Homo-oligomer: A and B are copies of this chain.
Amino acid sequence: MSISNTPPSGFRDFTPKDASARFGLIQTIVRVYRSFGFEPIMTSAVEDLAVLTGKGGGENEKLIFKILKRGDKLTEASAAGSGELADLGLRFDLTLPLARFYSHYGGTLPKPFKVFQIGPVWRAERAQKGRYREFYQCDVDILGCEDWMAEVEVIEAISSALGTLGISSPEILINDRRILFAMLDDAKVPHEKRIPACIWLDKLDKMDPEDVWAGLYEEIGRDSASLLRLALDESREGTDGLARLCALPGLAEPVERLSRILQSLKVLLKGPAVRFEPCLVRGLDYYTGSVFEFRHPSLGSSLAGGGRYDRLVEKFGGQPVACCGGSIGFERLMLILQETAQQAGADGPQACVTVFSDELRERSLDLAQQLRAKGISVDVYPGAGKLKNQFKYADSKNAAYALVVGPDELASGLVKAKNLKTG
């Protein structure tokens, strides 16, 4: 029986054209992140299961690819019947590994620590169009900094990366979870109804608002829902709307912080619109304060997002560390760039050296070596066959020139170059 030659469901391979485009994107993002003084780290793809669970990863914790124990440990676990069969798992994001990393290395790193990490993460999602089980994230974080400039720099770096890639007009939404919670309290929404209410509010930009509010009438009662709706509308009225929220208990600091972030970003970012959006929640439970999202007109979901997670590092031991970070959704970025055709094509070698005859192979290899030494990328046809087929090969590699080194050329000392672009 022959085996399937496709990757498992939800996983993907990338042909040279796509792989080149992905490399190009990553290089651009790395260059921009570095230009802000962020430094790269790499963490392991595999984590102890205890690292991945119970840290506020929300729904993602249910989607962990678990790795089977090995050897005696597996035999024991199987024999026990109800034993834990797995001890390791594939990371589902880059933030948990970063928090673990910082808990270990924090003492030896610059303070604050500006860091980026780009790499694959894995989630056992139900396979469906546009949703993958292996996908890349491009995270940028500042650890050990409670100042609001951390938020500004993270958002500016992401915005700059997107701008450099030609995505000039995403909309940036910012909130602080504490603001929404205070508004819920003020509207007399009972504590146990906070999360259900947030889940409804999160749908406001995804479905008909009237249907959402109908749901909320059911969930939290008509009085609370009406109060909340009015308060949300008022809070969106320019800078005054946000400023007035200062009056709610505990909001002096969050509102001041958010106002300064918004003010700074409005000055710094020329392209994207930045606005306060009190209903922005984001799914991960590890966020403790400000949250933000980049939206793009051609996407139903966010293109990038992040927030402040001041209580995550301490879960791996040690003192609390103020942290803020964001992540570009690499696959969504690829999707937009493909749609707008701004994706770089696969770049072929500059020239392809053909092989004239069996005896002249070394002359072709030698010419290629000389050209490479001059910085020119050069393919050699591996074998001696009809020149016509070799020209076809050179063309399929997108080479600009096919070079011929035959007896005439060797006699004259001049290599013949066939321009494959103009024919």
Contacts and interface: CB of A to CB of B under 8 A. Distances in A.
A15 B108 contact: yes
Contacts of A44: 7-8, 11-13, 134
A290 interface: no
Given A2-B315, A150-B382, A378-B37, A124 B8 contact: no
Q: Is the interface of A mostly helix, strand, loop or mixed?
A: mixed
A146 B384 CA distance: 11
Contacts of A156: 365, 369
Interface in A123-145: 124, 133-134, 142, 145
A274 interface: no
Given A150-B382, A383-B147, A41 B68 contact: no
A50 B112 CA distance: 47
Nearest to A397: B110
Contact of A13 (B104, B114, B316, B355): B104
Interface stretch (A19-27, A179-187, A218-226, A335-343): A19-27
Interface of A: 2-8, 11-16, 18-20, 22-23, 30, 34-37, 39-48, 50-51, 65-68, 70, 78, 85-86, 88, 90, 97, 100-101, 103-105, 108-112, 114-115, 120, 122, 124, 133-134, 142, 145, 147, 149-150, 152-153, 156, 160, 264, 267-268, 315-317, 346, 348-349, 352, 355, 361-362, 365-366, 368-369, 372, 376-380, 382-384, 393, 396-397, 399
